[in-house]
Amino acid sequence: MTTEVAVDSRLVLTDEQVREIAATYGTPVYVIDEGHLRRRVGAFKTAFEKSHPKTELTYASKANSTLAVLRIVYSEGCLIDVASEGELRAALAAGVPAKKTHLHGNAKTAQEIKAAFDLEVAQIVVDNFEEVDMIAATDGKCPDLMLRLAPGVDPKTNAKISTGQADTKFGFNIADGSAEQALLKALLLGLPVIGVHCHVGSQLVEPDAQIGGGQALAGFVREMKQKHGYVTQVINVGGGLAIRYTDDTEAIDPQKYCDELTAGIRKGLEGTGLDPVLVQEPGRWIIGESCVTIYSVNNVKTVPTKTGRRRYVSVDGGMSDNPRPALYGSPYPVRWVSGDGRGAKPDAVVRVAGKHCESDTLFDDKALPANVRKGDYLQVLCTGAYNAAMASNYNRYSRPVSVLIREDGTHTMVQRAETWEEQFAREIVPEDLS
């Protein structure tokens, strides 16, 4: 089999592939294309390196920490950003050395910090004053530290994934002086602070906020050198670039974006003598478009509404394998595949619903062929980020299988669906319960 990639860069499987993979592994199934993923990493890495002589690309593993994905992006030259000890352990299990990881998190535990010391991660991104104290009190060689700053930038995205504004739980605020206080406290304690970090939000269709965040960091480190002689070695501007969840969304050119981002930072550093390594942490942009999810259609029904009739197409998955529509109202591109090879009739507007015990609307107002029926398939594009990573066992459904299409066109399972025994393995029923 060969993988057909849409000209707009999103992975799209052929109808033959959809039917073959569904027959082999069942549905729902996450399908990742190895070649597509490697090309995405390469495109961003090349663009970043062309835009600035000293760069480092770090993959935000919160987007998708499937071990095969981590191994692929690491082999393509990415470091791995982890937001918990669990994600750190996943990176290690994928063969990534701890020295190639960065630990994030706004509420790290003493246990997570101790693990970062013991395993020798490359960096800890420090979020708050209590964390500075915990790090200073931890025995062992301290990893390099980055201070996460809140640059006061309000991005145009869903409020639930905005993180760079002044009113945020993340990082030290620049405007109220907290960032400067944190730097001085860490340095006074003898901690190895090598640079600063920010992340302004996710799914940023307009990258102006992220560019503004980079400029805010440049202004801060300029001031810290002037006032305190602090020499910043690293500036990390986070990730958050958008992907094409809708057909009418324009793709962001990574070269143009990297050029504008790095130019803004360099301008802010002019005359300081500072020459830091610039770091980005894309997650969604790297993996999002390299994966599709295949669902089977279970039933189709038409019901009355106040203004007419509505057609429901119900599939064998839902919010347990993709909670983002319920959480954020996130849209996805959906493609119909006939189960038996028949042709499509003219489109009708339908609501695609999941199988969970609530409304569980997956994809509203989708144009699908009027002859869609039980046994057909829906191929949902752009499901690589925050689908497998956020999957749950709601209604006791097992989290889906993940399949990797290799570069030679063959496919193999890289994450199997859970068994009932695995779901119940951590539960204990006291013997005296009647």
Rounded to whole angstroms, the Cα distance separating 125 from 185 reads 15
Closest CA to 291 of 186, 396, 365, 382: 382
Q: What token pair was written down for 80?
A: 């791995």
Contact 33, 405 (CB under 8 A): yes
Rounded to whole angstroms, the Cα distance separating 379 from 368 reads 12
Residue showing tokens 């529509």: 325
Give the active site residue among 78, 198, 291, 357. 357
Rounded to whole angstroms, the Cα distance separating 208 from 262 reads 13
Angle separating helix axes 254-269 and 208-228, nearest 10 degrees: 20
Residue range 258-287, pLDDT digits in tens: 999 999 999 999 999 999 999 999 999 999
The pLDDT of residue 208 is 82
The pLDDT of residue 206 is 73
Residue-averaged pLDDT of the chain = 93
Rounded to whole angstroms, the Cα distance separating 315 from 297 reads 4
The pLDDT of residue 154 is 57
The pLDDT of residue 52 is 96
E-only strand ranges, 70-162: 79-82, 101-103, 123-126, 144-150
With a cut of 80, say whether residue 1 has pLDDT above it. no
- Is 291 known to be catalytic? no
- The number of residues making up the chain comes to 434
% of the chain surpassing 70 pLDDT: 94
pTM: 0.93
User: What is the H or E stretch that residue 403 is in?
Assistant: strand 401-405
Rounded mean pLDDT, 122-151:
96
Provide the 3-class DSSP secondary structure of residue 297: strand
Rounded to whole angstroms, the Cα distance separating 320 from 318 reads 6
Lowest mean pLDDT among 142-156, 338-352, 368-382: 142-156
The pLDDT of residue 153 is 63
E-only strand ranges, 258-355: 277-280, 291-304, 309-315, 334-337, 347-353
Residue 203 pLDDT grade (very low, low, confident, very high; cuts 50, 70, 90)? confident
Residue 209 pLDDT grade (very low, low, confident, very high; cuts 50, 70, 90)? confident
Contact 27, 248 (CB under 8 A): no
The pLDDT of residue 92 is 98
The pLDDT of residue 363 is 96
The pLDDT of residue 94 is 98
The pLDDT of residue 202 is 66
Contact 409, 1 (CB under 8 A): yes
Rounded mean pLDDT, 364-387:
97
Rounded mean pLDDT, 410-417:
97
With a cut of 80, say whether residue 152 has pLDDT above it. no
Residue range 4-22, pLDDT digits in tens: 444 589 999 999 999 999 9
Q: What token pair was written down for 66?
A: 């499937």
With a cut of 70, say whether residue 71 has pLDDT above it. yes
Residue range 153-198, pLDDT digits in tens: 654 444 444 444 556 777 999 999 999 999 999 999 999 999 999 9
DSSP 28: S
List domains and CATH numbers for the chain.
15-30+289-424 (2.40.37.10), 104-282 (3.20.20.10)
